[in-house]
Each structure stands twice: as C-alpha cells, then as structure tokens.
Amino acid sequence: MSELQASLLLKRQLAELHRNPVDGFSAGLINDEEIFKWEVVIIGPPDTLYEGGCFKAHLTFPKEYPLRPPHMKFVTEIWHPNIEKNGNVCISILHEPGDDKFGYEKAEERWLPVHTVETILLSVISMLADPNDESAANVDAAKEFREDYAEFKRKVTRCVRRSQEEV
C-alpha cells in the first residue's frame, strides 16, 4: 500500500470518528498538516481503577499502514502492567503481524490490516479494565498488581487525579 493510500484511509477513519463518535475516547490530529500523527484522549473506563481519568496518548502511523501497526504512547502518566514506564503501550494487536518469535501470541492476536483506530482504542480501553499481568511491559506495576494491590490502586488513583488536573 502506498503512502497516499495510507493517508486516504486515515483521513476516512478520522472523518468517520468525527461523524460517529465512540464512547470512551476522542481522536484528532496533533498537527492538521500531519495525518500520520494523532492525539487521542482515553476516558478511564467506568467501574475500573482508571474511572474518571482523561489520559492523552499519541498514535504514530507508519507509511505502510494498514499493513503495519501504529505505535501508541501515553503522554499522560499512567500506571499499568501493560504500559511501559515511558508510556509505550504493549498490546498484542499493536505487535507486528505474523508469528511471535517467543511463541506467546498467536498470529491472529497480533496486528491485522482489518484493525482501525476504533478497534485499537477499544482494545486499549479493554486492557485498562482488565490488565494482563502475565505479559507485563511494566514489571513493577505487574508485580504490585499481584502482590500489593492496595499500593497499585494508590498509584493508579494518583495518575487519575493528575490526568484530571491536566485537562
């Protein structure tokens, strides 16, 4: 797929999200001139520790989109087993397509060109609601989630409060 086709596809997806907003997030361009760099705001899912939070993240799309996945990084501080301390999101559907060299993920769990911004963000919202501490990107958060849930909850609550102050 060419860069032009990727650009047109992203413009269509953005227009669709503006016409038919989805509960739980909003999306737009960081800079109106650059279709490959988006800013999203994810609202912490109800009935989770993240409820009430407004977490900003950036989605950076490769020129080969949708054949290759975007990169997602939270720019708002967030404490979660599947989000690296620097904000990088580690979720199966954002991993390069094909077989996992470590054998942990099935090819169909990884990136597929049928994914859209909407399916990515709904998956991230689901990840916030249900962390996978067995496949941690943030080992400290995963260990705390398992062994000291009260401290984990305290750190998440602090992140939620800070995210609200930034809005």
CB atoms within 10 A of CB 142: 20
pLDDT value at residue 103: 66
Residues 92, 105: contact at Cβ < 8 Å?
Answer: yes
User: What confidence tier does 135 reach under pLDDT thresholds 50, 70, 90?
Assistant: confident
| Tokens 């404490």 belong to residue | 79
Question: Domain residues of the chain, as ranges?
Answer: 3-166
- Active-site residues, by number, are 90
3-166: CATH topology is Ubiquitin Conjugating Enzyme (3.10.110)
Confidence of residue 1 (pLDDT cuts 50, 70, 90): low
Considering only CA atoms, which of 120, 93, 133, 132 is closest in space to residue 109? 93
Q: How confident is the model over 144-163, as a mean pLDDT?
A: 98
* Strand pairing class (71-74; 37-43): unpaired
The pLDDT tens digits for 39-82 are 999 999 999 999 999 999 999 999 999 999 999 999 999 999 99
What is this structure's pTM? 0.93
